[in-house]
């Protein structure tokens, strides 16, 4: 959409690896899935206000 290059967030990756080592891989994966669910709900609420949100919601559903 924006044609902007997105770079990985180094600290976020480090944090997830640390949590995985301390709390377990399954916990981290479930947490990431919950975050995706929340973002889908946000896009659903924004759909009426922002036309691009509908496209982002569709992309999020295809990703799952």
Give DSSP secondary structure letters for 3-52: -------HHHHHHHHHHHHHH-HHHHHHHHHHHHHHHHHHHHHHTTT-HH
Kindly state whether residue 47 falls inside one of the protein's structural domains. Answer: yes
The pLDDT of residue 1: 62
Kindly state whether residue 2 falls inside one of the protein's structural domains. Answer: no
Kindly state whether residue 50 falls inside one of the protein's structural domains. Answer: yes
Kindly state whether residue 15 falls inside one of the protein's structural domains. Answer: no
Kindly state whether residue 37 falls inside one of the protein's structural domains. Answer: yes
Kindly state whether residue 7 falls inside one of the protein's structural domains. Answer: no
pTM of the model: 0.60
* 64, pLDDT greater than 70: no
Kindly state whether residue 40 falls inside one of the protein's structural domains. Answer: yes
Per the structure block, which two tokens stand in for 54? 């509908």
Per the structure block, which two tokens stand in for 27? 């916990």
The per-residue pLDDT for range 9-63, each reduced to its tens digit, is: 999 999 999 999 999 999 999 998 898 888 878 878 887 788 777 777 777 777 6
* Structural domain span for residue 46: 25-63
Split into its structural domains, the chain has a count of: 1
Kindly state whether residue 1 falls inside one of the protein's structural domains. Answer: no
């Amino acid at each position: 959409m924006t044609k902007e290059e997105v770079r990985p967030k180094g600290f976020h990756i480090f944090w997830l690896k640390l949590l995985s080592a301390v709390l377990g891989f399954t916990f981290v994966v479930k947490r990431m899935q919950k975050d995706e669910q929340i973002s889908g709900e946000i896009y659903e609420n924004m759909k009426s206000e922002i036309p691009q949100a509908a496209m982002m919601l569709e992309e999020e559903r295809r990703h799952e």
